[in-house]
Amino acid sequence: MADFLGCDSIEDLVPKVIDALKTKVSEFNYNNWFRYAQWSLEGEKTIRIQIPNKFVRDWILDNYLEIIKFEFFKLTGKEFEVLFQIIPPSELKQPVFPQIKNQVAPTQAAKKEQLLKLPVGINARYTFDNYVVGNSNQFVFAACQAVANNPAKNYNPLFIYGGVGLGKTHLLNALALEALKKNPSLKIIFVTGEQFTNEVINSIRYDKTYDLRKKYRDNCDILLIDDVQFIAGKERTMEEFFHTFNSLYEDRKQIIVTSDTLPKDILQLEERLRSRFSWGLLADIQIPDFETRCAILRRKAEDDHINMPDDVCQFIAMHVKTNVRDLEGSLIRLSAFASLACIPMTVNVARDVLKNVLGVMAPHLSIEGIQTMVADHYGLKIHDLKSERRHRNLALPRQIAMYLCKKHIKASFPEIGAKFGGKDHTTVIHAVQKIKSAFDQDIGLRSQLEQLENLIQKNS
């Protein structure tokens, strides 16, 4: 058939394209994405591919559509249109793997549960019981338990600090739930620093400061403020919080706050609040070690009925070292992926899925890599970025480099400081916050950052 160059008949075309496809994508990927695909020609320039679900369709569209079209073009000299049709796995000819016990339902249930929050704004899913304890958090865990059992006795205020996704909000909820379990009549207020700020703004705007004070000072046994660093730099909010704090403290009511850093490292926080935060107990949460990461994954998999082989658990725990939220996210993504694509959860699948999500496995993206990139971009030497010199031509690129390291490598502040000529972690915190806040105001800086971020994307 002249129209189908190199093919005897139209029926020959599809197997030839499939053969070509197999040489272009790895066997592993072919099996993942095409083993259940059913191809058929519609007319002379359209191909229909039947696949088991939307997820597989989107993946093929994003990753393989161009290859498929190109192969058809090579064989026929025609631009083919590719149509996808989702049909239930039961109607596909080949048997489909049994679905891994599916976590879509629990996730939806969890969402619902979040909507049905307890009256005080507490999420009932975060309990002490499902908080996994290891070296990185046993101190703070014990402190929270002690406070829940005996509010306003020993540790007041309790100041919990640690990086994002390490379980601060979880612990606050667990503490409140436990305290309520012990004494259901306790009046508990649970707000984020941001909500508190909004309440202060609204109380000023609508002339309701009296109500606000009544609520926080007279009607509260335990006050929990999550991410209190948010109020820094907001004068009226800090003022209101200061008086709330004093009033509750004098009345022997319990105050618990969380923050991403120590009080002394929260920029633009009033000195008098800084000192009050340090009156009670300061407890930090660190990144969990490998064994704890495995235990957290196991616990999470059990709770969500995910059937996770040991080697997969260890693989995730080994590679996802940033925080617990990323750990959970990786597990959920991987199991959703396996379930939707009807493939078993294996280390190979994990490698393929997670590399696209986190970038944590991109071996060439490192602090040194970012330093080189930034130094090249500004025509500086790496030595300049590590030096102590404060000239603006050096200081800004240095701060940008620190910011990019925090954002893309997710290294800790001290780790970044060490690699920038042994600088203190507060210097890094300051740099990161400065670039973050300049980002919105300084168009020139924003465009420089965008260029650098593009370079990073290309290199990761």
Which residues lie near ligand ADP (CB under 6 A)?
Answer: 126, 131-132, 137, 162, 164-170, 296, 324-325, 328
Could you tell me which residues come within 8 angstroms of residue 137 by beta carbon, excluding any fewer than 6 positions away? 131, 166, 167, 285, 286, 288, 292
Q: Which does 221 bind (CB under 5 to 8 A by kind): Mg ion, ligand ADP, none?
A: none
Residue nearest to ligand ADP (CB): 167
Q: How far is the CB of 270 from ligand ADP (least distance, A)?
A: 24
Instruction: Give the residue with the Cβ less far from ligand ADP, 222 or 296.
Output: 296
Residue nearest to Mg ion (CB): 169
Q: Which does 296 bind (CB under 5 to 8 A by kind): Mg ion, ligand ADP, none?
A: ligand ADP
Distances (CA, A) of 184 to 131, 226, 227: 22, 22, 25
Instruction: Give the residue with the Cβ less far from Mg ion, 171 or 341.
Output: 171
Instruction: Give the residue with the Cβ less far from Mg ion, 239 or 265.
Output: 265
Q: How far is the CB of 108 from ligand ADP (least distance, A)?
A: 16
Q: How far is the CB of 326 from ligand ADP (least distance, A)?
A: 9
Q: Which stretch binds Mg ion (CB under 5 A): 32-40, 99-107, 164-172, 355-363?
A: 164-172
Instruction: Give the residue with the Cβ less far from ligand ADP, 176 or 452.
Output: 176
Instruction: Give the residue with the Cβ less far from ligand ADP, 293 or 398.
Output: 293
| Contact status: 136 vs Mg ion (CB under 5 A) | no
Q: Are 153 and 253 in contact (CB under 8 A)?
A: no
* Rounded Cα gap, residues 356 and 360, in angstroms: 9
**331 CB neighbour count, 10 Å cutoff:** 27
Positions of E strands within 193-331: 222-226, 254-259, 281-285
Amino acid residing at 328? E
Q: How far is the CB of 19 from ligand ADP (least distance, A)?
A: 46
Instruction: Give the residue with the Cβ less far from Mg ion, 168 or 408.
Output: 168
Could you tell me which residues come within 8 angstroms of residue 6 by beta carbon, excluding any fewer than 6 positions away? 16, 75
Could you tell me which residues come within 8 angstroms of residue 292 by beta carbon, excluding any fewer than 6 positions away? 132, 134, 135, 136, 137
Instruction: Give the residue with the Cβ less far from ligand ADP, 170 or 423.
Output: 170
Instruction: Give the residue with the Cβ less far from Mg ion, 103 or 169.
Output: 169
Q: How far is the CB of 294 from ligand ADP (least distance, A)?
A: 12
Write the interaction track for Mg ion spanning residues 377-406; mark x where CB under 5 A is met and - where it is not.
------------------------------
Q: Are 337 and 55 in contact (CB under 8 A)?
A: yes
Instruction: Give the residue with the Cβ less far from Mg ion, 168 or 293.
Output: 168
Q: Are 385 and 401 in contact (CB under 8 A)?
A: yes
Q: Are 428 and 413 in contact (CB under 8 A)?
A: yes
Instruction: Give the residue with the Cβ less far from ligand ADP, 162 or 280.
Output: 162
Angle, helices 425-441 vs 392-409, to 10°: value is 100
Q: Which does 328 bind (CB under 5 to 8 A by kind): Mg ion, ligand ADP, none?
A: ligand ADP
Of 54, 38, 106, nearest in space to 337 by CA: 54
Of 156, 169, 322, 339, the one binding Mg ion (CB under 5 A) is: 169
Cis preceding linkage at 157, omega within 30: yes
Q: Which does 315 bind (CB under 5 to 8 A by kind): ligand ADP, Mg ion, none?
A: none
**Biggest CA pair distance of the chain:** 93
* Rounded Cα gap, residues 145 and 142, in angstroms: 5
Q: How far is the CB of 126 from ligand ADP (least distance, A)?
A: 6
Q: How far is the CB of 328 from ligand ADP (least distance, A)?
A: 5
Tokens of 455: 């370079």
Place of tokens 């059990």: 302
Q: Which stretch binds Mg ion (CB under 5 A): 18-26, 163-171, 214-222, 337-345?
A: 163-171
Tokens of 344: 């078993």
Q: How far is the CB of 170 from Mg ion (least distance, A)?
A: 8
* Rounded Cα gap, residues 52 and 92, in angstroms: 7
Q: How far is the CB of 193 from Mg ion (least distance, A)?
A: 10
* Rounded Cα gap, residues 406 and 398, in angstroms: 12
Distances (CA, A) of 25 to 67, 83, 338: 9, 20, 19
Q: Which does 132 bind (CB under 5 to 8 A by kind): ligand ADP, Mg ion, none?
A: ligand ADP
* Rounded Cα gap, residues 5 and 254, in angstroms: 80
| Contact status: 229 vs Mg ion (CB under 5 A) | no
Count of residues engaged in binding Mg ion, rule: CB under 5 A: 2
**Residues within the interface to Mg ion (CB under 5 A):** 168-169
